[in-house]
Structure 1
Amino acid sequence: MKVSVPATSANLGPGFDSLGIAITMKNQVIIRPSKFHSVSLKGEGANNPVLKDNNMFISIFNDFYHNLSHKKRHFRFEFFNEIPLSRGLGSSSAVIVSAIASAYAIEGIKLDKNKLLNLALAYENHPDNITPAVMGGFNVATVQDNEVRYINKSIPKALKAVIVVPNRPISTQLSRKTLPFKYSKDDVIFNISHSSLLTAAFMSEDWKMLRTASLDKVHQKYRMKQMPELFDVQKSALRSGALMSTLSGSGSTLFSICFADDAKRIEKALRNRFSHFKVFTSDFDNTGVKIDL
Protein backbone atom coordinates (compact mmCIF):
# COMPACT_ATOMS: atom_id res chain seq x y z
CA MET A 1 0.00 0.00 0.00
CA LYS A 2 1.24 3.49 -0.84
CA VAL A 3 -0.05 6.71 0.70
CA SER A 4 1.03 10.14 -0.55
CA VAL A 5 0.25 13.57 0.90
CA PRO A 6 1.12 16.93 -0.69
CA ALA A 7 3.14 19.74 0.81
CA THR A 8 1.14 22.79 1.83
CA SER A 9 1.63 26.50 2.30
CA ALA A 10 -0.45 28.08 5.05
CA ASN A 11 -1.55 31.61 5.97
CA LEU A 12 -0.86 33.00 2.47
CA GLY A 13 -0.25 36.42 3.98
CA PRO A 14 -3.32 37.77 5.80
CA GLY A 15 -5.12 34.43 6.22
CA PHE A 16 -3.46 33.62 9.55
CA ASP A 17 -4.35 30.04 10.62
CA SER A 18 -7.21 29.91 8.08
CA LEU A 19 -5.95 29.88 4.46
CA GLY A 20 -3.85 27.14 2.87
CA ILE A 21 -2.91 25.66 -0.51
CA ALA A 22 -1.37 22.38 -1.70
CA ILE A 23 1.52 21.85 -4.14
CA THR A 24 2.70 18.73 -5.98
CA MET A 25 5.74 18.09 -3.76
CA LYS A 26 4.82 15.00 -1.71
CA ASN A 27 5.74 12.70 1.12
CA GLN A 28 5.06 9.04 0.39
CA VAL A 29 5.03 5.94 2.54
CA ILE A 30 4.86 2.35 1.33
CA ILE A 31 3.67 -0.18 3.91
CA ARG A 32 4.25 -3.92 3.53
CA PRO A 33 3.49 -6.90 5.80
CA SER A 34 6.65 -8.07 7.54
CA LYS A 35 7.89 -10.66 10.04
CA PHE A 36 9.28 -7.83 12.17
CA HIS A 37 8.96 -4.06 12.46
CA SER A 38 11.33 -2.09 10.23
CA VAL A 39 11.66 1.45 8.92
CA SER A 40 13.57 2.91 5.99
CA LEU A 41 13.76 6.60 5.21
CA LYS A 42 14.90 8.31 2.02
CA GLY A 43 14.90 11.96 1.08
CA GLU A 44 14.36 14.78 3.57
CA GLY A 45 15.43 13.77 7.07
CA ALA A 46 17.15 10.58 5.92
CA ASN A 47 20.31 11.52 7.84
CA ASN A 48 18.42 12.16 11.07
CA PRO A 49 18.37 8.94 13.15
CA VAL A 50 15.83 10.47 15.57
CA LEU A 51 13.19 10.34 12.84
CA LYS A 52 13.55 6.56 12.64
CA ASP A 53 13.66 5.95 16.37
CA ASN A 54 11.03 8.47 17.44
CA ASN A 55 8.78 8.51 14.40
CA MET A 56 5.53 10.47 14.78
CA PHE A 57 4.00 8.55 11.86
CA ILE A 58 4.56 5.17 13.55
CA SER A 59 3.10 6.42 16.83
CA ILE A 60 -0.10 7.76 15.25
CA PHE A 61 -0.42 4.78 12.90
CA ASN A 62 -0.12 2.31 15.79
CA ASP A 63 -2.71 4.16 17.88
CA PHE A 64 -5.29 3.99 15.11
CA TYR A 65 -4.36 0.54 13.80
CA HIS A 66 -4.62 -1.13 17.22
CA ASN A 67 -7.94 0.56 17.93
CA LEU A 68 -9.34 -0.48 14.56
CA SER A 69 -7.99 -4.04 14.29
CA HIS A 70 -7.24 -5.20 17.85
CA LYS A 71 -4.42 -7.20 16.22
CA LYS A 72 -0.69 -7.24 16.62
CA ARG A 73 1.02 -7.31 13.22
CA HIS A 74 4.40 -6.17 11.99
CA PHE A 75 4.98 -3.95 8.99
CA ARG A 76 7.83 -2.53 6.98
CA PHE A 77 7.48 1.23 6.50
CA GLU A 78 9.35 2.82 3.58
CA PHE A 79 9.29 6.60 3.68
CA PHE A 80 10.12 8.79 0.68
CA ASN A 81 10.13 12.41 1.87
CA GLU A 82 10.21 15.38 -0.48
CA ILE A 83 8.83 17.95 1.98
CA PRO A 84 11.61 19.82 3.84
CA LEU A 85 11.46 19.61 7.63
CA SER A 86 10.68 22.69 9.72
CA ARG A 87 10.48 25.00 6.72
CA GLY A 88 6.77 25.92 6.75
CA LEU A 89 5.66 23.49 4.03
CA GLY A 90 3.40 21.28 6.12
CA SER A 91 5.68 18.32 6.82
CA SER A 92 3.97 17.61 10.17
CA SER A 93 0.50 17.75 8.63
CA ALA A 94 1.61 15.33 5.91
CA VAL A 95 2.77 12.87 8.60
CA ILE A 96 -0.47 13.15 10.58
CA VAL A 97 -2.75 12.76 7.56
CA SER A 98 -0.81 9.86 6.03
CA ALA A 99 -0.59 7.95 9.33
CA ILE A 100 -4.35 8.06 9.96
CA ALA A 101 -5.22 7.29 6.33
CA SER A 102 -2.79 4.34 6.32
CA ALA A 103 -4.25 2.74 9.44
CA TYR A 104 -7.75 2.77 7.99
CA ALA A 105 -6.67 1.64 4.52
CA ILE A 106 -4.61 -1.30 5.77
CA GLU A 107 -7.70 -2.59 7.58
CA GLY A 108 -9.83 -2.10 4.46
CA ILE A 109 -12.03 0.48 6.17
CA LYS A 110 -13.21 3.25 3.87
CA LEU A 111 -12.46 6.64 5.38
CA ASP A 112 -14.33 9.69 4.16
CA LYS A 113 -12.01 12.69 3.65
CA ASN A 114 -14.13 14.85 5.91
CA LYS A 115 -13.76 12.33 8.72
CA LEU A 116 -10.02 12.06 8.05
CA LEU A 117 -9.73 15.82 8.29
CA ASN A 118 -11.48 15.92 11.65
CA LEU A 119 -9.44 13.03 13.02
CA ALA A 120 -6.29 14.92 12.04
CA LEU A 121 -7.56 17.96 13.92
CA ALA A 122 -6.82 16.17 17.21
CA TYR A 123 -3.09 16.32 16.34
CA GLU A 124 -3.01 19.68 14.54
CA ASN A 125 -5.49 22.24 15.84
CA HIS A 126 -4.87 24.76 13.06
CA PRO A 127 -6.81 23.78 9.92
CA ASP A 128 -4.80 25.83 7.41
CA ASN A 129 -2.29 23.03 6.72
CA ILE A 130 -4.27 19.84 7.32
CA THR A 131 -7.16 20.92 5.08
CA PRO A 132 -5.15 21.29 1.84
CA ALA A 133 -3.13 18.19 2.82
CA VAL A 134 -6.37 16.18 2.80
CA MET A 135 -8.34 18.00 0.10
CA GLY A 136 -5.73 19.56 -2.17
CA GLY A 137 -6.22 22.95 -3.83
CA PHE A 138 -6.88 26.27 -2.10
CA ASN A 139 -8.84 26.12 1.15
CA VAL A 140 -10.51 28.53 3.51
CA ALA A 141 -10.96 26.74 6.83
CA THR A 142 -12.06 27.33 10.39
CA VAL A 143 -12.88 25.16 13.39
CA GLN A 144 -16.34 25.20 14.93
CA ASP A 145 -17.72 22.71 17.48
CA ASN A 146 -14.49 20.67 17.13
CA GLU A 147 -15.02 20.22 13.39
CA VAL A 148 -13.24 21.75 10.41
CA ARG A 149 -15.55 23.85 8.24
CA TYR A 150 -13.98 24.65 4.90
CA ILE A 151 -14.50 25.68 1.28
CA ASN A 152 -12.18 24.22 -1.36
CA LYS A 153 -11.15 25.58 -4.77
CA SER A 154 -9.06 23.84 -7.43
CA ILE A 155 -6.12 25.78 -8.85
CA PRO A 156 -5.81 25.94 -12.68
CA LYS A 157 -2.66 24.87 -14.51
CA ALA A 158 -2.20 28.47 -15.63
CA LEU A 159 -0.61 29.14 -12.25
CA LYS A 160 2.58 27.81 -10.67
CA ALA A 161 4.37 28.24 -7.37
CA VAL A 162 7.98 29.40 -7.13
CA ILE A 163 9.40 28.39 -3.77
CA VAL A 164 12.52 29.55 -1.95
CA VAL A 165 13.64 27.27 0.90
CA PRO A 166 16.36 28.79 3.11
CA ASN A 167 19.21 26.70 4.46
CA ARG A 168 17.98 26.98 8.05
CA PRO A 169 14.61 26.71 9.78
CA ILE A 170 12.45 29.06 11.82
CA SER A 171 10.94 27.33 14.85
CA THR A 172 7.13 27.49 14.79
CA GLN A 173 6.94 27.73 18.58
CA LEU A 174 9.58 30.45 18.81
CA SER A 175 8.01 32.16 15.80
CA ARG A 176 4.65 32.44 17.54
CA LYS A 177 6.36 33.97 20.57
CA THR A 178 7.55 36.86 18.40
CA LEU A 179 3.97 37.89 17.65
CA PRO A 180 2.39 40.78 19.58
CA PHE A 181 0.12 39.97 22.50
CA LYS A 182 -2.31 42.67 21.29
CA TYR A 183 -3.08 44.18 17.89
CA SER A 184 -4.52 47.55 17.00
CA LYS A 185 -8.04 47.74 15.61
CA ASP A 186 -6.63 49.16 12.36
CA ASP A 187 -4.30 46.16 11.88
CA VAL A 188 -7.09 43.69 12.61
CA ILE A 189 -9.41 45.41 10.13
CA PHE A 190 -6.59 45.48 7.58
CA ASN A 191 -6.12 41.71 7.83
CA ILE A 192 -9.83 40.89 7.80
CA SER A 193 -10.32 42.96 4.65
CA HIS A 194 -7.25 41.56 2.89
CA SER A 195 -7.97 37.95 3.85
CA SER A 196 -11.51 38.39 2.53
CA LEU A 197 -10.21 39.95 -0.67
CA LEU A 198 -7.63 37.18 -1.11
CA THR A 199 -10.33 34.51 -0.73
CA ALA A 200 -12.54 36.31 -3.24
CA ALA A 201 -9.61 36.60 -5.67
CA PHE A 202 -8.98 32.83 -5.56
CA MET A 203 -12.64 31.94 -5.88
CA SER A 204 -13.24 34.33 -8.81
CA GLU A 205 -9.81 33.61 -10.35
CA ASP A 206 -8.96 37.31 -10.35
CA TRP A 207 -5.24 36.60 -10.20
CA LYS A 208 -4.09 40.19 -10.66
CA MET A 209 -5.76 41.04 -7.36
CA LEU A 210 -3.45 38.67 -5.45
CA ARG A 211 -0.62 41.16 -4.89
CA THR A 212 -2.86 43.65 -3.09
CA ALA A 213 -4.94 40.99 -1.34
CA SER A 214 -1.95 39.08 0.08
CA LEU A 215 -0.66 41.96 2.22
CA ASP A 216 -0.50 41.27 5.95
CA LYS A 217 0.04 43.18 9.22
CA VAL A 218 -0.44 40.39 11.76
CA HIS A 219 2.47 37.93 11.55
CA GLN A 220 4.85 38.06 8.57
CA LYS A 221 7.06 41.02 9.44
CA TYR A 222 7.55 39.78 13.01
CA ARG A 223 8.55 36.31 11.88
CA MET A 224 10.69 37.41 8.96
CA LYS A 225 12.82 39.58 11.26
CA GLN A 226 14.34 36.33 12.53
CA MET A 227 15.79 35.90 9.02
CA PRO A 228 16.00 39.42 7.53
CA GLU A 229 17.10 38.25 4.07
CA LEU A 230 13.54 36.97 3.59
CA PHE A 231 12.40 40.55 3.04
CA ASP A 232 14.80 40.73 0.10
CA VAL A 233 13.55 37.37 -1.25
CA GLN A 234 9.98 38.64 -1.12
CA LYS A 235 10.81 41.94 -2.83
CA SER A 236 12.84 40.16 -5.51
CA ALA A 237 10.00 37.72 -6.27
CA LEU A 238 7.48 40.53 -6.67
CA ARG A 239 9.90 42.64 -8.70
CA SER A 240 10.48 39.66 -11.02
CA GLY A 241 6.75 39.30 -11.73
CA ALA A 242 5.22 37.13 -9.01
CA LEU A 243 1.51 37.69 -8.46
CA MET A 244 2.02 37.35 -4.69
CA SER A 245 4.81 36.37 -2.34
CA THR A 246 4.25 35.35 1.27
CA LEU A 247 5.93 33.60 4.14
CA SER A 248 4.94 29.93 4.01
CA GLY A 249 3.42 28.96 7.34
CA SER A 250 5.73 30.26 10.05
CA GLY A 251 8.69 30.09 7.67
CA SER A 252 11.39 29.94 6.76
CA THR A 253 10.19 29.21 3.21
CA LEU A 254 9.03 32.06 0.95
CA PHE A 255 6.11 31.03 -1.27
CA SER A 256 5.24 32.88 -4.49
CA ILE A 257 2.46 32.38 -7.02
CA CYS A 258 2.89 33.39 -10.66
CA PHE A 259 1.53 32.74 -14.13
CA ALA A 260 3.00 29.55 -15.60
CA ASP A 261 4.65 31.49 -18.44
CA ASP A 262 6.61 33.58 -15.93
CA ALA A 263 7.73 30.76 -13.64
CA LYS A 264 11.10 29.90 -15.25
CA ARG A 265 12.16 33.53 -15.41
CA ILE A 266 11.23 34.19 -11.78
CA GLU A 267 12.89 30.97 -10.62
CA LYS A 268 16.10 31.87 -12.48
CA ALA A 269 16.16 35.39 -11.03
CA LEU A 270 15.70 34.10 -7.49
CA ARG A 271 18.23 31.29 -7.91
CA ASN A 272 20.85 33.71 -9.23
CA ARG A 273 20.32 36.14 -6.36
CA PHE A 274 19.93 33.57 -3.57
CA SER A 275 22.25 30.78 -4.67
CA HIS A 276 22.69 29.58 -1.07
CA PHE A 277 18.96 28.77 -0.85
CA LYS A 278 16.98 26.04 -2.61
CA VAL A 279 14.76 27.50 -5.34
CA PHE A 280 12.29 25.50 -7.42
CA THR A 281 8.99 25.66 -9.28
CA SER A 282 5.99 23.49 -8.47
CA ASP A 283 2.53 22.84 -9.84
CA PHE A 284 -0.47 22.90 -7.53
CA ASP A 285 -2.02 19.71 -6.22
CA ASN A 286 -5.82 19.49 -6.43
CA THR A 287 -6.13 15.90 -5.15
CA GLY A 288 -4.80 15.91 -1.60
CA VAL A 289 -4.10 12.65 0.20
CA LYS A 290 -3.98 9.67 -2.15
CA ILE A 291 -4.07 5.94 -1.34
CA ASP A 292 -2.94 3.23 -3.79
CA LEU A 293 -3.61 -0.34 -2.71
Structure 2
Amino acid sequence: MIRVHVPATAANLGPGFDCLGMALELYNVVEFSKIPRGLSIEVEGEGAGELACNEGNLVYRAAKRVFDRIGYKPDGLRIRLVNSIPVGRGLGSSASAVIGGIIAANMLCGAQLSKREILALACSMEGHPDNIAPALLGGLVIYAAVDDEITWTKINLPAGLKAVVAVPDFTLSTRDAREALPHMVTMRDAVFNIGRTALLVAALQKGDLSVLGTAMDDKLHQPFRVGLIPGYKKVVSAARLAGARGVALSGAGPAIIALADNNQELIAKVMKATFRECGVNARSLILAPSPVGARALEVL
Protein backbone atom coordinates (compact mmCIF):
# COMPACT_ATOMS: atom_id res chain seq x y z
CA MET A 1 0.00 0.00 0.00
CA ILE A 2 1.14 3.52 -0.81
CA ARG A 3 0.32 6.28 1.72
CA VAL A 4 0.86 9.99 1.00
CA HIS A 5 0.45 12.85 3.49
CA VAL A 6 -0.19 16.24 1.85
CA PRO A 7 -0.27 19.50 3.84
CA ALA A 8 -2.85 22.26 3.66
CA THR A 9 -1.67 25.51 2.11
CA ALA A 10 -2.34 29.23 2.35
CA ALA A 11 -1.65 31.11 -0.87
CA ASN A 12 -0.99 34.83 -1.44
CA LEU A 13 -0.66 35.86 2.25
CA GLY A 14 -2.00 39.25 1.23
CA PRO A 15 0.19 40.91 -1.41
CA GLY A 16 1.85 37.83 -2.94
CA PHE A 17 -0.96 37.20 -5.41
CA ASP A 18 -0.20 34.03 -7.40
CA CYS A 19 3.46 34.04 -6.35
CA LEU A 20 3.56 33.04 -2.65
CA GLY A 21 2.25 30.04 -0.77
CA MET A 22 2.82 28.49 2.66
CA ALA A 23 2.35 24.87 3.77
CA LEU A 24 0.53 24.23 7.05
CA GLU A 25 0.51 21.27 9.44
CA LEU A 26 -2.95 20.02 8.55
CA TYR A 27 -2.96 16.99 6.30
CA ASN A 28 -4.97 14.94 3.86
CA VAL A 29 -3.95 11.29 3.58
CA VAL A 30 -4.13 9.43 0.27
CA GLU A 31 -3.79 5.64 0.24
CA PHE A 32 -3.46 3.50 -2.91
CA SER A 33 -3.73 -0.29 -2.87
CA LYS A 34 -3.81 -2.76 -5.74
CA ILE A 35 -6.91 -4.94 -5.98
CA PRO A 36 -7.72 -7.69 -8.50
CA ARG A 37 -10.00 -5.48 -10.62
CA GLY A 38 -12.17 -2.37 -10.70
CA LEU A 39 -11.99 0.94 -8.87
CA SER A 40 -12.95 1.47 -5.22
CA ILE A 41 -12.82 4.94 -3.63
CA GLU A 42 -13.58 5.72 0.03
CA VAL A 43 -13.65 9.21 1.57
CA GLU A 44 -13.43 9.87 5.30
CA GLY A 45 -13.42 13.20 7.13
CA GLU A 46 -13.76 16.46 5.22
CA GLY A 47 -15.80 16.04 2.05
CA ALA A 48 -17.22 12.64 2.97
CA GLY A 49 -20.59 12.29 1.28
CA GLU A 50 -19.79 15.22 -1.04
CA LEU A 51 -16.71 14.22 -3.03
CA ALA A 52 -17.06 11.86 -5.98
CA CYS A 53 -16.28 8.20 -5.35
CA ASN A 54 -15.94 7.24 -9.00
CA GLU A 55 -13.68 8.14 -11.94
CA GLY A 56 -14.64 11.79 -11.48
CA ASN A 57 -12.77 11.94 -8.16
CA LEU A 58 -9.94 14.47 -8.41
CA VAL A 59 -7.38 12.17 -6.79
CA TYR A 60 -8.16 9.46 -9.33
CA ARG A 61 -8.09 11.92 -12.24
CA ALA A 62 -4.64 13.09 -11.12
CA ALA A 63 -3.44 9.49 -10.82
CA LYS A 64 -4.75 8.68 -14.29
CA ARG A 65 -2.64 11.48 -15.72
CA VAL A 66 0.41 9.64 -14.38
CA PHE A 67 -0.77 6.23 -15.56
CA ASP A 68 -1.43 7.58 -19.07
CA ARG A 69 1.91 9.35 -19.22
CA ILE A 70 3.91 6.32 -18.11
CA GLY A 71 1.79 3.78 -19.94
CA TYR A 72 0.70 1.85 -16.87
CA LYS A 73 -2.74 0.34 -16.36
CA PRO A 74 -3.50 -1.19 -12.96
CA ASP A 75 -5.80 -4.23 -12.98
CA GLY A 76 -7.68 -2.74 -10.05
CA LEU A 77 -7.19 0.14 -7.63
CA ARG A 78 -8.47 0.94 -4.15
CA ILE A 79 -8.19 4.59 -3.06
CA ARG A 80 -8.82 5.62 0.53
CA LEU A 81 -8.89 9.31 1.39
CA VAL A 82 -8.73 10.56 4.97
CA ASN A 83 -9.23 14.31 4.74
CA SER A 84 -8.56 16.94 7.39
CA ILE A 85 -8.37 19.95 5.04
CA PRO A 86 -11.72 21.79 4.71
CA VAL A 87 -13.08 21.73 1.16
CA GLY A 88 -13.62 24.96 -0.77
CA ARG A 89 -12.33 27.27 1.97
CA GLY A 90 -9.03 28.52 0.54
CA LEU A 91 -6.74 26.00 2.22
CA GLY A 92 -5.64 24.02 -0.82
CA SER A 93 -7.91 20.99 -0.63
CA SER A 94 -7.94 20.51 -4.41
CA ALA A 95 -4.17 20.96 -4.61
CA SER A 96 -3.74 18.29 -1.94
CA ALA A 97 -5.92 15.93 -3.98
CA VAL A 98 -3.91 16.54 -7.16
CA ILE A 99 -0.52 16.23 -5.46
CA GLY A 100 -1.61 13.18 -3.46
CA GLY A 101 -2.96 11.41 -6.53
CA ILE A 102 0.10 12.14 -8.65
CA ILE A 103 2.64 11.10 -6.00
CA ALA A 104 0.76 7.92 -5.06
CA ALA A 105 0.41 6.91 -8.72
CA ASN A 106 4.05 7.74 -9.39
CA MET A 107 5.17 5.48 -6.55
CA LEU A 108 2.89 2.73 -7.81
CA CYS A 109 4.67 3.03 -11.18
CA GLY A 110 8.15 2.85 -9.70
CA ALA A 111 8.77 6.58 -8.99
CA GLN A 112 9.62 7.43 -12.59
CA LEU A 113 8.67 11.14 -12.40
CA SER A 114 11.01 13.72 -10.85
CA LYS A 115 9.82 16.38 -8.41
CA ARG A 116 9.97 18.99 -11.19
CA GLU A 117 7.88 16.74 -13.46
CA ILE A 118 5.37 16.19 -10.67
CA LEU A 119 5.12 19.97 -10.15
CA ALA A 120 4.58 20.61 -13.86
CA LEU A 121 1.96 17.89 -14.17
CA ALA A 122 0.09 19.13 -11.11
CA CYS A 123 0.13 22.72 -12.34
CA SER A 124 -1.26 21.61 -15.70
CA MET A 125 -4.31 20.36 -13.80
CA GLU A 126 -4.72 23.23 -11.32
CA GLY A 127 -3.85 26.00 -13.77
CA HIS A 128 -1.50 27.85 -11.41
CA PRO A 129 1.01 26.86 -8.71
CA ASP A 130 -0.28 28.95 -5.79
CA ASN A 131 -1.25 25.94 -3.65
CA ILE A 132 0.46 23.20 -5.65
CA ALA A 133 4.02 24.38 -4.99
CA PRO A 134 3.87 24.62 -1.17
CA ALA A 135 1.85 21.39 -0.95
CA LEU A 136 4.65 19.58 -2.77
CA LEU A 137 7.66 21.44 -1.37
CA GLY A 138 6.67 22.66 2.11
CA GLY A 139 7.70 25.87 3.87
CA LEU A 140 7.10 29.25 2.26
CA VAL A 141 7.52 28.98 -1.50
CA ILE A 142 8.08 31.86 -3.91
CA TYR A 143 7.43 30.87 -7.49
CA ALA A 144 7.14 32.21 -11.03
CA ALA A 145 6.23 30.71 -14.40
CA VAL A 146 9.14 30.90 -16.84
CA ASP A 147 8.72 29.51 -20.36
CA ASP A 148 5.96 27.12 -19.26
CA GLU A 149 8.05 25.89 -16.32
CA ILE A 150 7.89 26.82 -12.66
CA THR A 151 10.95 28.44 -11.13
CA TRP A 152 10.82 28.44 -7.35
CA THR A 153 12.72 28.98 -4.17
CA LYS A 154 11.79 28.10 -0.62
CA ILE A 155 12.43 29.71 2.74
CA ASN A 156 11.90 28.23 6.18
CA LEU A 157 9.75 30.24 8.54
CA PRO A 158 10.79 31.63 11.95
CA ALA A 159 10.46 29.44 15.00
CA GLY A 160 7.37 30.16 17.07
CA LEU A 161 5.32 31.52 14.18
CA LYS A 162 1.81 30.07 14.01
CA ALA A 163 -1.10 30.52 11.63
CA VAL A 164 -4.50 31.09 13.20
CA VAL A 165 -7.12 30.27 10.58
CA ALA A 166 -10.79 31.16 10.89
CA VAL A 167 -12.79 28.87 8.60
CA PRO A 168 -16.38 29.98 7.82
CA ASP A 169 -19.04 27.34 7.27
CA PHE A 170 -19.65 28.33 3.65
CA THR A 171 -17.61 27.59 0.56
CA LEU A 172 -16.26 30.01 -2.03
CA SER A 173 -15.20 28.69 -5.41
CA THR A 174 -11.91 29.89 -6.87
CA ARG A 175 -13.78 30.68 -10.09
CA ASP A 176 -16.19 33.05 -8.34
CA ALA A 177 -13.33 34.67 -6.44
CA ARG A 178 -11.39 35.14 -9.70
CA GLU A 179 -14.39 36.62 -11.46
CA ALA A 180 -14.58 39.32 -8.79
CA LEU A 181 -11.17 40.67 -9.82
CA PRO A 182 -10.62 43.55 -12.27
CA HIS A 183 -8.98 42.90 -15.64
CA MET A 184 -6.58 45.82 -15.18
CA VAL A 185 -4.94 47.50 -12.19
CA THR A 186 -3.20 50.85 -11.79
CA MET A 187 0.56 51.24 -11.74
CA ARG A 188 0.26 52.66 -8.22
CA ASP A 189 -1.49 49.53 -6.95
CA ALA A 190 0.99 47.24 -8.72
CA VAL A 191 3.92 49.07 -7.09
CA PHE A 192 2.13 48.93 -3.73
CA ASN A 193 1.96 45.13 -3.93
CA ILE A 194 5.50 44.69 -5.21
CA GLY A 195 6.82 46.59 -2.20
CA ARG A 196 4.66 44.71 0.29
CA THR A 197 5.55 41.32 -1.18
CA ALA A 198 9.28 42.05 -0.99
CA LEU A 199 8.86 43.30 2.58
CA LEU A 200 6.85 40.21 3.56
CA VAL A 201 9.40 37.73 2.21
CA ALA A 202 12.34 39.56 3.77
CA ALA A 203 10.56 39.90 7.13
CA LEU A 204 9.70 36.21 7.30
CA GLN A 205 13.18 35.18 6.24
CA LYS A 206 14.79 37.39 8.89
CA GLY A 207 12.19 36.64 11.55
CA ASP A 208 11.23 40.32 11.84
CA LEU A 209 7.51 39.94 12.50
CA SER A 210 7.02 43.56 13.57
CA VAL A 211 6.40 44.67 9.98
CA LEU A 212 3.84 42.01 9.01
CA GLY A 213 0.92 44.34 9.64
CA THR A 214 2.14 46.51 6.77
CA ALA A 215 3.70 43.73 4.72
CA MET A 216 0.45 41.75 4.42
CA ASP A 217 -1.55 44.66 2.98
CA ASP A 218 -2.82 44.21 -0.56
CA LYS A 219 -4.59 46.16 -3.31
CA LEU A 220 -4.77 43.62 -6.14
CA HIS A 221 -7.29 41.03 -4.97
CA GLN A 222 -8.54 41.33 -1.40
CA PRO A 223 -10.43 44.63 -1.80
CA PHE A 224 -12.48 43.02 -4.57
CA ARG A 225 -13.23 39.82 -2.67
CA VAL A 226 -14.28 41.18 0.72
CA GLY A 227 -17.87 41.59 -0.47
CA LEU A 228 -18.03 37.80 -0.90
CA ILE A 229 -17.18 37.20 2.77
CA PRO A 230 -19.60 38.60 5.38
CA GLY A 231 -17.74 40.05 8.34
CA TYR A 232 -14.31 40.04 6.70
CA LYS A 233 -13.22 43.52 7.78
CA LYS A 234 -14.47 43.05 11.34
CA VAL A 235 -12.70 39.69 11.70
CA VAL A 236 -9.44 41.17 10.41
CA SER A 237 -9.69 44.10 12.84
CA ALA A 238 -10.51 41.80 15.76
CA ALA A 239 -7.53 39.54 15.00
CA ARG A 240 -5.17 42.51 14.90
CA LEU A 241 -6.51 43.90 18.18
CA ALA A 242 -5.99 40.46 19.77
CA GLY A 243 -2.31 40.47 18.80
CA ALA A 244 -2.02 39.07 15.28
CA ARG A 245 1.08 40.30 13.49
CA GLY A 246 -0.59 40.27 10.08
CA VAL A 247 -3.93 39.11 8.66
CA ALA A 248 -5.08 38.19 5.15
CA LEU A 249 -7.33 35.94 3.14
CA SER A 250 -6.07 32.38 2.84
CA GLY A 251 -5.88 31.96 -0.91
CA ALA A 252 -9.15 33.10 -2.45
CA GLY A 253 -10.95 32.65 0.89
CA PRO A 254 -13.30 32.54 2.60
CA ALA A 255 -10.87 31.38 5.34
CA ILE A 256 -8.91 34.19 6.98
CA ILE A 257 -5.35 33.59 8.19
CA ALA A 258 -3.62 35.50 10.96
CA LEU A 259 0.12 35.10 11.57
CA ALA A 260 1.14 35.34 15.21
CA ASP A 261 3.95 34.47 17.60
CA ASN A 262 1.83 34.77 20.77
CA ASN A 263 -1.80 35.07 21.92
CA GLN A 264 -2.85 32.43 19.39
CA GLU A 265 -5.67 31.07 21.56
CA LEU A 266 -7.12 34.54 22.07
CA ILE A 267 -6.83 35.37 18.38
CA ALA A 268 -8.59 32.13 17.44
CA LYS A 269 -11.37 32.85 19.93
CA VAL A 270 -12.06 36.41 18.78
CA MET A 271 -11.94 35.56 15.06
CA LYS A 272 -14.52 32.84 15.54
CA ALA A 273 -16.69 35.03 17.78
CA THR A 274 -16.55 37.98 15.39
CA PHE A 275 -17.67 35.82 12.48
CA ARG A 276 -20.56 34.62 14.65
CA GLU A 277 -21.52 38.23 15.47
CA CYS A 278 -21.74 38.81 11.72
CA GLY A 279 -24.12 35.87 11.28
CA VAL A 280 -21.52 33.36 10.09
CA ASN A 281 -20.68 30.13 11.90
CA ALA A 282 -16.98 29.40 11.81
CA ARG A 283 -14.30 27.25 13.38
CA SER A 284 -10.77 28.30 14.15
CA LEU A 285 -7.55 26.33 13.80
CA ILE A 286 -4.10 27.02 15.19
CA LEU A 287 -1.54 25.55 12.82
CA ALA A 288 2.23 25.54 12.60
CA PRO A 289 3.85 26.05 9.21
CA SER A 290 4.89 22.74 7.68
CA PRO A 291 8.59 22.80 6.75
CA VAL A 292 8.14 19.74 4.54
CA GLY A 293 5.68 19.14 1.76
CA ALA A 294 3.98 15.93 0.65
CA ARG A 295 5.49 12.77 2.14
CA ALA A 296 5.06 9.28 0.74
CA LEU A 297 5.51 5.88 2.35
CA GLU A 298 5.18 2.36 1.10
CA VAL A 299 3.39 0.48 3.85
CA LEU A 300 3.67 -3.29 4.00
TM above 0.5: yes
Deviation of 1:110 after TM superposition, in Å, equals 5.0
* Corresponding residue of 2:154: 152
Mind listing any 5+ residue stretches in structure 1 that lack a counterpart?
none
Q: Which amino acid aligns with 2:173?
A: S
Within a 5 Å distance, the mapping from 1:1-293 to structure 2 comes to 1-36=2-37, 37-48=39-50, 50-53=51-54, 54-259=56-261, 261-275=262-276, 276-293=281-298
**Secondary structure in structure 2 of the residue aligned to 1:127:** coil
**Deviating more after overlay: 200-209 vs 267-276:** 267-276
Q: Which amino acid aligns with 1:86?
A: G
Q: Which amino acid aligns with 1:19?
A: L
Cα pair 2:5 2:294 within 8 Å, conserved: yes
Cα pair 2:72 2:109 within 8 Å, conserved: no
Cα pair 1:45 1:51 within 8 Å, conserved: no
Deviation of 1:119 after TM superposition, in Å, equals 2.0
Cα pair 2:40 2:53 within 8 Å, conserved: no
Provide the C-alpha distance between the structure 1 equivalents of 2:60 and 2:125, rounded to a whole number of angstroms: 14
Provide the C-alpha distance between the structure 2 equivalents of 1:199 and 1:191, rounded to a whole number of angstroms: 12
Provide the C-alpha distance between the structure 2 equivalents of 1:109 and 1:174, rounded to a whole number of angstroms: 36
Provide the C-alpha distance between the structure 1 equivalents of 2:28 and 2:268, rounded to a whole number of angstroms: 23
Provide the C-alpha distance between the structure 2 equivalents of 1:67 and 1:15, rounded to a whole number of angstroms: 33
Provide the C-alpha distance between the structure 2 equivalents of 1:85 and 1:23, rounded to a whole number of angstroms: 15
Cα pair 2:13 2:21 within 8 Å, conserved: yes
Provide the C-alpha distance between the structure 1 equivalents of 2:158 and 2:217, rounded to a whole number of angstroms: 22
Mind listing any 5+ residue stretches in structure 2 that lack a counterpart?
none
Q: Which amino acid aligns with 2:48?
A: A
Change (3 A) 1:72 1:270: closer
The size of the alignment, in residue pairs, is 291
Provide the C-alpha distance between the structure 1 equivalents of 2:81 and 2:153, rounded to a whole number of angstroms: 31
Root-mean-square deviation (CA), in Å? 1.5
**Deviating more after overlay: 241-250 vs 219-228:** 219-228
Provide the C-alpha distance between the structure 1 equivalents of 2:12 and 2:244, rounded to a whole number of angstroms: 17
Deviations 1:104-152 (A, max 9, x none): 1012225432332122121123222111011101011110011111110
Deviation of 1:88 after TM superposition, in Å, equals 0.7
Q: Which amino acid aligns with 1:231?
A: K
Deviations 1:144-180 (A, max 9, x none): 0111111101123411110001111122112111112
Give the share of equivalent positions with the same residue, in percent. Answer: 33
Q: Which amino acid aligns with 2:240?
A: L
